[in-house]
Amino acid sequence: MALGGGGVVLLAFVVALCLCATRAEPQLEVGFYSYSCPAAELIVKEEVEKVLQDDPGVGADLLRMHFHDCFVRGCDGSILLNSTKGNTAEKDAQINADLEGFDVIDTIKEKLEAACKGVVSCADILAFASRDSIVHYGGTFYPVPAGRRDGKISRSSDTSDLPPPTFNLTQLTKMFVSKGLSQDEMITLSGSHTIGVAHCPTFSNRLYNFSRKASTDPTLNPKYAGQLKKECPPRSNNEVDMDPPSPLTFDTSYYRNLLDNRGLFTSDQTLMSTPATAGRVRQFASNSVLFKQKFAAAMVKMGKIGVLTGKQGEIRSYCRVVN
């Protein structure tokens, strides 16, 4: 049926309204707090630098915290919420049992509330703090798009969305793709293991009773396996550096370790299991600038997973509890 002149005008008006509605949908943006809280990012950076002077390793926890937050329910600060009567929160799930740094976020939030009450979300604090930690260790600075709002739900059962250290390449790829991240971005983000520590139970399956044919994982460098066994006697919960050559430096040592079969987790060494992924590992191992640039880009993309914006969620007054 043909439209008359009035119909054409009406149709054009409706289309324009739809386009405006689409464009008006809130999005993350760099400099989100430029007017509402101009000092926000500086306050976060100063507090991160201050705490890293006293506890040099906690920046790795802040980075891991942001990752674990984004993969579960999106980047909404849900990992920061405390358990309540009848509900075990994400932070108390087994996979997060050794995660530290929650007090750091509390301190930052307190400073921001004093400067700009009710403005900066806990989810954005995590994004800023992880970026500043990366830079502190020697990574590349990158602008963080902000405007995330805080979620109100945190359930330990949802942490099944986090990749365990026992995953192989196929499992890892599938999980990252389900979050909108490519296999290449998975390989890139795995480079975060260039800083931080791990507890023995997370990889002891590779050292003892690995299979019927081998007590130790045959893909593990024998000399490295011997070193790990000294640091991790059976049933111990000791800590070891994930990247022994440079545990507090954001560099490409992690990828060089993989080339020598010194990946700590199964999920690390599996990056060498296909020609294509091994090729990317070799490229990163020899090109620090490329790795750091791609890592920064992957962090920005990861930081947009499932975000709440506009009037969704809330801005928590205290990061551990909903308002």
CA–CA distance, 27 with 199 (Å, rounded to integer): 38
Structure tokens at 117: 């009450």
Which of 66, 68, 136, 193 is flagged as catalytic? 68
At 71, the amino acid letter reads F
Structure tokens at 58: 């906690």
CB distance 194 to 250 below 8 Å: yes
Structure tokens at 72: 């579960």
Q: What phi and psi, each to the nearest 5 degrees, are found at residue 195?
A: -130, 155
CA–CA distance, 78 with 81 (Å, rounded to integer): 6
The DSSP call for residue 254 is H
At 120, the amino acid letter reads V
Q: What is the CA radius of gyration of the chain?
A: 22
CB distance 187 to 293 below 8 Å: no
**Helices 288-302 and 122-137, interaxial angle, to 10°?**
170
Query: Which alpha helices (DSSP H) does the chain contain, by range?
Result: 5-24, 40-54, 58-71, 102-115, 122-137, 169-178, 183-189, 222-231, 253-259, 266-269, 275-286, 288-302
Would you call 68 a catalytic residue per the annotation? yes
Burial of 9 (0-12, 13-18, 19+ CB in 10 A): exposed
CB distance 146 to 308 below 8 Å: no
Active site residues: 68
